[in-house]
Amino acid sequence: MTTGAGAQGVQALQGILAAENAAVYGYGLAGAQLSGSQLAATQQDWNLHREARAAVASMITARGGTPAPAAAAYRPPFAVNSAASARALAARLEDGLVQAYLGLVAVDNRDLRAYGADEMQAAAIRAASWRGTTVAFPGLPASALR
Amino acid sequence: MTSRRAVPRRRVLTAGAVALPLAATASCGVPEALRKPPGLSASVQTLLLSITAEQALVDDYQAVIRRYPQLSGRLDSFLSQHRQHLAQLQGRLVVPPHVTMSPIPAPAAPGPSSPSAAGSAGAAVARLVKAEQDAAAEQLDRLTGAPAALAQLLASIAASEATHAVALGQA
Amino acid at A13: L
Q: DSSP of B12-55, one letter per residue?
A: HHHHHHHHHHHHHHHHH-S-GGGSS-----HHHHHHHHHHHHHH
In CATH terms, the fold of domain B42-170 is Ferritin (1.20.1260)
Name, in order, each residue with C-beta under 8 angstroms of A3's C-beta and a sequence gap of 6 or more: none
What domain range includes position A16?
A: 4-133
Is A142 contained in some domain?
no
pLDDT at B4: 46
3-class DSSP assignment, residue A107: coil
pLDDT at A1: 43
Is A145 contained in some domain?
no
pLDDT at B101: 59
Give B29-77 pLDDT, tens digit per residue.
788 778 777 777 888 889 999 999 999 999 999 999 999 999 999 999 9
Whether the CB-CB separation of A133 and B77 falls below 8 Å is answered with: yes
What band does A4 get if pLDDT is binned at 50, 70 and 90?
A: low
Amino acid at B81: Q
Of A106, A118, A136, the CB nearest to B152: A106
Is A144 contained in some domain?
no
CB pairs under 8 A between A and B: 90
pLDDT at B18: 41
Q: Between chains, do B163 and A135 touch, taking CB under 8 Å as contact?
A: yes
Count how many domains chain A has.
Answer: 1
Distance CA B54, CA B50 (A): 6
Structural element, H or E, at residue B104: none
- Residue A110 touches partner B, C-beta closer than 8 Å: yes
Give A18-30 pLDDT, tens digit per residue.
999 999 999 999 9
- Tell me which chain B residue has its CA closest to the CA of residue A145: B88
Percent of chain A whose pLDDT exceeds 70: 97
Q: What is the mean pLDDT of chain B?
A: 82
Is A121 contained in some domain?
yes
pTM above 0.80, yes or no: yes
3-class DSSP assignment, residue A104: helix
Is A102 contained in some domain?
yes
Q: Between chains, do B157 and A120 touch, taking CB under 8 Å as contact?
A: no
Q: Region B131-138: what's the mean pLDDT?
A: 96
Percent of chain B whose pLDDT exceeds 70: 75
CATH number, residue A118: 1.20.1260.10
Q: Between chains, do A135 and B160 touch, taking CB under 8 Å as contact?
A: yes
- Residue A134 touches partner B, C-beta closer than 8 Å: yes
Q: Hey, CA dihedral for B38, B43, B49, B53, is it positive or negative?
A: negative
Is A114 contained in some domain?
yes
Of A116, A124, A133, the CB nearest to B162: A124
Distance CA A27, CA A6 (A): 31
Q: Hey, CA dihedral for B137, B142, B144, B147, is it positive or negative?
A: negative
Nearest CA-CA partner of A56 in A46, A65, A43: A65
Is A146 contained in some domain?
no
- Residue A129 touches partner B, C-beta closer than 8 Å: yes
Interface residue of A109, A112, A137 to substitute, partner B, most B CBs within 10 Å: A137
- Residue A41 touches partner B, C-beta closer than 8 Å: no
Distance CA A26, CA A20 (A): 10
Distance CA A18, CA B120 (A): 47
pLDDT at B20: 45
Which of A117-126, A136-145, B13-22, B50-59 is the least confident region?
B13-22
Is A39 contained in some domain?
yes
First vs last Cα of chain A: how many Å apart? 38
Q: Give the start-to-end residue ranges of the domains of chain B.
A: 42-170
- Residue B163 touches partner A, C-beta closer than 8 Å: yes
Q: Is the pLDDT of residue B103 over 70?
A: no
Q: Which residues of B touch A133 (CB under 8 A)?
A: 77
Q: Between chains, do B151 and A114 touch, taking CB under 8 Å as contact?
A: no
Give A94-124 pLDDT, tens digit per residue.
999 999 999 999 999 999 999 999 999 999 9
pLDDT at B13: 38
pLDDT at B145: 84
Q: Between chains, do A146 and B85 touch, taking CB under 8 Å as contact?
A: no
